[in-house]
Structure 1
């Protein structure tokens, strides 16, 4: 049967076995779903999209002052075409931030250089306030969702807690996709490197998910997050859950698409374990993906930095990665 819409999962009902079963089916059969009843107010989500529009409307010089090339931690602003996916330039403007931390004095591994401060525009102080508040709440939801997902897989709800006991590694971005004549790739087809991704969409469609060899359009659903399974959960489930390819198409010329993406992973110094799933789930596993261009690495920091360097070769070159 052809899939016409992503499953809808209620976060508020995940204390029931019935909803956790629906969660497992959505996560294993599709790898994508809408998450509703997550506790974040619609007003707060609309404020995030509004402040995003304010940021992208700033003078170009103010945005360029926050260019990601300034940051060895891969944080800050990217103009259209600055990020690459699947070897091609993406048609999007974006602003990235991560956990607000202090840089290490003497990092020993390349991935340890991801640890550090964010860049923020002085002329728009509410951006920092609203975006950090958003990710703090999203992290609470993501941890609860991950625990419910573990339960749905027949293991202890806290089976992965030790991989983020200090704090999950989080990466987020606000994005503006301009309608450009002749362009099609907002973001090329890819998988996400973490445990879970949340996407907040405005009313402009464009996100597409690969399912059974076809591309499904993910239409905006008010008040929801679009959630997808990342590579770390594919590794943890030994392939029972699959990180799903997705892409974003450029909107029509003269229009724009705004979104906010949040990526939750284990802490960077963790190694992802293999969960001991029930026999019937092990039997259904497709195995962990093997792609020589994108090997999946159990050491979280190595898996994350691999994606950052591939997506931002200019930043990597500027800081000697």
Structure 2
């Protein structure tokens, strides 16, 4: 595979306004329409900050099994915490990665029989006592990435020729944020599914990679690699943006191939969606854009919902069957 198969966009052009901003929007429109993936530079987050997050990831995964299991996700009805190697499924197959998930830090709601099931997602994160510096660093990083994605969401509104506040009601109380530290161990076997082929369910995803390749994107020319570009995030469009634009914007299949034996890959993925109680708008596109909208490419076995909480919970239940069985058995029985 050749290197840098994806467009590289410089967000400093957006901040510069004027003609520079228009040039950025033109580039964003092409990347979002044709590929659904791009590198983002000029975002204002330093290489030192990025390296610090990856170093914390390395420290977390170096903790003992007992220390990691003390914050295992199965203990959390809110899908927060540590997932062992092979503990998450994509397309029904086990992913060969271990990970640590956090979301918005919130107080759990009192469960009542009439509340929507997705409200059980709201709650606190789990944090390892053996690595106390992790909590403040990750919560600050998550907020910085959340702010960055809100800026990008405004840019996408302009690409779609909508008012700047087209998505504002869906993130007015803060977007739904989901971040994970991920470790992919090397393998010498034929089972090299670091993460199986999938689309992301939210508005936008930002991926911070270390120096090891593995992320691949499905294009019209087949699978291409998203090789690490120092200082850049890999950004991809999620299904909610595809849904809101009636398929004008493209949510793209992607996967991660495990590194070879003796090598590990570390990354930090940040997923931004509308707040859980929001309903994704179906935007009224101008005629020239509407004519190019293909409709959202929903998988018949995994339908999309405009209600965000339902979408998020559906994905969590499919991916983490141990948490689903322990905390959502009544839903599984109904489904």
Same-fold status (TM-score > 0.5): yes
Q: TM-score range by the shorter chain?
A: over 0.9
What RMSD in Å do the two structures reach over aligned CA positions?
A: 1.2
In the TM superposition, structure 1's runs of 4+ consecutive aligned residues that sit over 6 Å from their partners are none
- 1:240-287 CA-to-partner distances (Å, cap 9, x unmatched) read 012110000000001000000000000000000111212111111111
TM-score, normalised relative to structure 1 = 0.98
1:213 Cα deviation from its structure 2 partner: 5.3
- Distance in 2 of aligned mates of 1:56 and 1:95: 9
Q: What residue in structure 2 maps to residue 92 of structure 1?
A: 97
TM-score, normalised relative to structure 2 = 0.94
- 1:17-74 CA-to-partner distances (Å, cap 9, x unmatched) read 1111110110111000001111111111100000100000001100011110000000
1:290 Cα deviation from its structure 2 partner: 3.3
Q: What residue in structure 1 maps to residue 117 of structure 2?
A: 110
**Structure 1 unaligned residues grouped into runs of 5+:** none
- Distance in 2 of aligned mates of 1:12 and 1:264: 21
The answer on 1:211 being equivalent to 2:216 is no
- Distance in 2 of aligned mates of 1:13 and 1:105: 46
1:109 Cα deviation from its structure 2 partner: 1.2
- Distance in 2 of aligned mates of 1:10 and 1:161: 24
- Distance in 2 of aligned mates of 1:22 and 1:3: 19
Matches within 5 A, 1:1-321: 5-14=5-14, 15=17, 16-107=21-112, 108-182=115-189, 183-212=191-220, 214-320=222-328, 321=331
- Distance in 2 of aligned mates of 1:82 and 1:166: 32
Question: How many residues get paired?
Answer: 320
> 3-state DSSP class of the match of 1:244?
coil
1:127 Cα deviation from its structure 2 partner: 0.8
**Structure 2 unaligned residues grouped into runs of 5+:** none
Closer, same or farther: CA 3–150 of 1 in aligned 2, 3 Å: farther
> 3-state DSSP class of the match of 1:131?
helix
**Which segment drifts farther, 270-279 or 222-231?**
270-279
> CA contact under 8 A between 2:4 and 2:226: conserved in structure 1?
no
**Which segment drifts farther, 191-200 or 175-184?**
175-184
- 1:48-101 CA-to-partner distances (Å, cap 9, x unmatched) read 000100000001100011110000000000010000001100000100000000
